[in-house]
Chain A
């Protein structure tokens, strides 16, 4: 027997085995050092099918910070506590992702979000408090009195479910209660799903998905403002992808919505409660200061000081507060008129029965809000032509309608 054959066979076999170890050693640690076999498989197996079925989903994920940090598909898609499991080609996943899935890693962020008007008050603005637990209502009311413990919006019933589902809910679902897991809302409304992007969330257009139109025309006002003009001109020079706690005016020297309302610019606190720096309930029929208004305004003024001098900040606040007061006066005058008609039985008991109901609703809900938002956000045209002018015109028309009603009814 030739020993040479045996020797060479053993050497070759060993070489092959060592080669296998070496090749395996080149695999990324984010793949090989996952805590469970399922997470390891998910790091490549999911993309094997989904790259063929929904390439964009995989590609968007690959661009994400999640991918760079080795967070794989299953980490987000596995069922969180309370979520129903779904068999999915050898994996157990959640049927629908909610804030419960994100909070497993981002709990402080979720808690900030929970305190915001994006959470429960957003959904309650459409459907009232019916879908929330008592605990959720109590919690939200602590931050936004009357924001959740309220009836459903009467327009939902009047316009019908299809309009509400495809219209109102599309935006207001940002605060939808997730009954199966007990959380509220979804982070993907702003961060998108597979990009899970801070950069996307900082884009004005992201906020503008919902904060647009005549009832909350923030994106239009921003685009008119100097902030918006500068962003349009210089956004390619900015870096919106910087980690929130490290963001400075060097990367974001022009503000977007997120900069002023949420970002931790130059070492400030980051918040996922966009109300945290807001001092007035501008959305309301008659604007009142928010709870903790002084602290909120101080925080916003601190933020402004990153780019503006104190006199400028004082002037903006002074002018805006005067617009708020004036708008309140104008709305209140018409409100008293309409309330008087209702008290005298000249209007129906239900809302939106008479043309004057709509006229008054437009006055405060469209023009009043626009005027006040325009004043705080530097949208001159929105203070004037989309705000105060229609308020004036509408007030005259409503008075004429009121006179007509009183004449008709002899009151």
Chain B
């Protein structure tokens, strides 16, 4: 493992989790403001998102000063907390409507049920980063697997959210298509043994996600800036979710970390008869 921190994928993964948890604070604030924080429980992820980055920063400082054990436990605490927040959020979001009606319509219009799983994903990343050997091939595969899970969420999100708009503009299908291919390309390494070339293709597919997310952010923001509410804040709270498209570049970044690490474990080309074997031999 490289000695410089910025050359070590686990350090980037830790930074990724820290920044994401922090970023979730304003995101959750906007999201739950649409519901006027109707239930007290809606404050839990907001406050958790404020506290978690501070705790992770403390964990990083502790690890840097040599108190690795303290840093590990702090990270695990945040990780398990995030998992709990995410799972509870999933259940509560579905409980808002879907559990009563159990219809496709209620799944579309219920509180975004997959959204809280962002916490669970980040929590699992933090836990994984402390439980899996970063030198082995298992580490990048777990990162890719969680990025894959994130893109599955993006696929569902972009489908359900734009369904609320009945795909009024055909361009609303673009993120659905983009996330579908992100899922399929990230899935391949779990089905077949892949090469560095495939990692390069995957990186390109992730690059497309960055572009799609950037365009989505632009269009969502532009729609809100010309929104019909008199209040700028209301336009952002009740209009299109401006921050949601940023999940695409965000998850692409996570995938880049995984691909970067995975690439170090892969051959340039496969030997004859190797092609059918899945990469994650050690992912058991």
Q: Which A residues form the contact surface with B (CB < 8 A)?
A: 1-2, 4-6, 8-14, 16-17, 20, 23-24, 26-28, 31-34, 37-38, 40-41, 44-45, 47-49, 51-52, 87, 89-92
Residue of B nearest to A34 (CB): B166
Contact with A along B203-246 (1 / 0, CB 8 A): 00000000000000000000000011111001101110000000
Within the assembled complex, what's the spacing in Å between the Cα atoms of A13 and B181?
A: 4
Given contacts A87-B230, A89-B238, contact A24 B159 (CB under 8 A): yes
B193 lies within 8 A of A17 (CB): no
Q: Tell me which residues across on chain B come within 8 A of A51, comparing CB atoms.
A: 97
Given contacts A6-B201, A26-B104, A34-B166, contact A89 B269 (CB under 8 A): no
9 A-B residue pairs with Cβ-Cβ distance under 8 Å, sorted by A, are A2-B270, A4-B275, A6-B188, A16-B183, A17-B177, A23-B159, A28-B105, A90-B228, A91-B238
Give chain B interface residues in 177-197, CB to chain A under 8 Å. 177, 180-181, 183-185, 187-189, 191-195, 197
Residues of A within 8 A of B167 (CB): 24, 32
Task: Write the nearest CB–CB distance from B266 to chain A, whole angstroms.
Answer: 11
**Interface pair A13/B185, CB less than 8 Å apart:** yes
With A87-B230, A92-B228: A44-B176 Cβ-Cβ less than 8 Å:
no
User: Chain A nearest CB: distance from B75 CB in Å?
Assistant: 33
Interface: B108 (CB within 8 A)? yes
A87-B231 in contact (CB<8A)? yes
Q: Which of A1, A9, A40 has the most CB of B within 10 A?
A: A9
Q: How far is the CA of A49 from the CA of B194 in the complex (A)?
A: 48
Q: Does B57 have its Cβ within 8 Å of any Cβ on chain A?
A: no
Known: A26-B104, A48-B97, A87-B234. A17 touches B180 (CB 8 A): yes
How close is B192's CB to chain A, nearest CB, in angstroms? 5
The answer on a CB contact under 8 Å between A90 and B159 is no
Tell me, rounded to whole Å, the shortest Cβ–Cβ distance linking B194 to chain A: 5
Task: Please determine whether A90 and B239 come into contact, CB atoms closer than 8 angstroms.
Answer: yes
Say if the beta carbon of B12 comes within 8 Å of chain A: no
Query: B184 and A13: CB pair below 8 A?
Result: yes
A48 to B108, CA, bound (A): 10
A12's partner among B38, B183, B189, B227 (CB-CB below 8 A) is B183
Chain B residues contacting A92 (CB-CB under 8 Å) are 228-229
A45 touching B166, Cβ below 8 Å: no
Q: Is the interface of A mostly helix, strand, loop or mixed?
A: helix
Please measure, in the bound complex, the distance between the C-alpha atom of A17 and the C-alpha atom of B167, giving whole angstroms. 14
B168 CB-CB contact with A under 8 Å: yes
Looking at the complex, which one of A1, A11, A27, A48 makes contact with B195 (CB distance below 8 Å)?
A1
Closest to A39 in B: B166
Question: Which listed residue (A4, A17, A27) contacts B104, Cβ 8 A?
Answer: A27
Check if B192 sits within 8 Å of A13, measured CB to CB. Answer: no
> How far, in Å, is B281 (CB) from chain A's closest CB?
16
10 residue pairs, one from A and one from B, having the closest CB atoms? A90-B238, A13-B184, A12-B184, A1-B197, A16-B180, A13-B181, A44-B109, A40-B166, A32-B166, A5-B188
Given contacts A2-B275, A23-B159, A90-B229, contact A9 B38 (CB under 8 A): no
Q: Is there a chain A Cβ closer than 8 Å to B163's Cβ? A: yes
Q: Given that A2-B195, A41-B164, A87-B231 are contacting pairs, would A16 and B188 also be in contact in the complex, using a CB cutoff of 8 Å?
A: no
Which chain A residues lie closer than 8 Å to B111 at the CB level?
48
Question: Which residues in B have their C-beta under 8 angstroms from that of A47?
Answer: 109
Q: Is B155 located at the chain interface by the 8 A CB criterion? A: yes
- Min Cβ gap A52→B in Å is 7
Is there an interface contact between A45 and B164, defined as CB atoms closer than 8 Å? yes
Separation in Å of the A151 CB from the closest CB of chain B?
43
State whether B110 touches A48 (Cβ < 8 A): yes
A41 to B193, CA, bound (A): 45
Q: Check if B171 is an interface residue, CB within 8 A of chain A.
A: no
**Which residue in A2, A34, A45, A49 is a CB contact (below 8 Å) of B192?**
A2
**In the complex with contacts A24-B167, A27-B104, A17-B176 CB distance below 8 A:** yes
Please determine whether A13 and B164 come into contact, CB atoms closer than 8 angstroms.
no
Q: Which residues of A contact B183 (CB under 8 A)?
A: 12-13, 16
Complex formed: what's the CA distance from A31 to B106 in Å?
13
**A20 close to B180 (CB less than 8 A):** yes
A2 touches B193 (CB 8 A): yes
- Extra 16 A-B pairs, beta carbons < 8 Å, given A1-B195, A11-B184, A17-B176: A1-B269, A9-B184, A20-B173, A24-B167, A27-B104, A40-B168, A44-B109, A48-B110, A52-B38, A87-B229, A87-B231, A89-B238, A90-B237, A90-B238, A90-B239, A92-B228
The CA of A94 and the CA of B181, in the complex, are separated in Å by: 44
Q: Quick one: given A2-B195, A23-B159, are A44 and B164 in contact (CB under 8 Å)? A: yes
Q: Chain B nearest CB: distance from A51 CB in Å?
A: 6
Docked complex Cα distance between A332 and B145 (Å): 95
> In the bound complex, how far is the Cα of B109 from the Cα of A40, in angstroms?
12
Question: Taking the complex as formed, is B198 at the interface, i.e. its CB lies under 8 A from any CB of chain A?
Answer: yes
Cα–Cα distance between A37 and B192 once the two chains are bound (Å): 43
Nearest residue (CB) in B for A92 is B228
Chain A residues near B275: list those with CB within 8 A.
Answer: 2, 4
Name the distance in Å between A75's Cβ and chain B's nearest Cβ. Answer: 15
Nearest residue (CB) in B for A48 is: B109
Q: Which single member of B96, B194, B227, B229 contacts A2 (CB below 8 Å)?
A: B194
Q: CB of B165 within 8 A of chain A?
A: yes
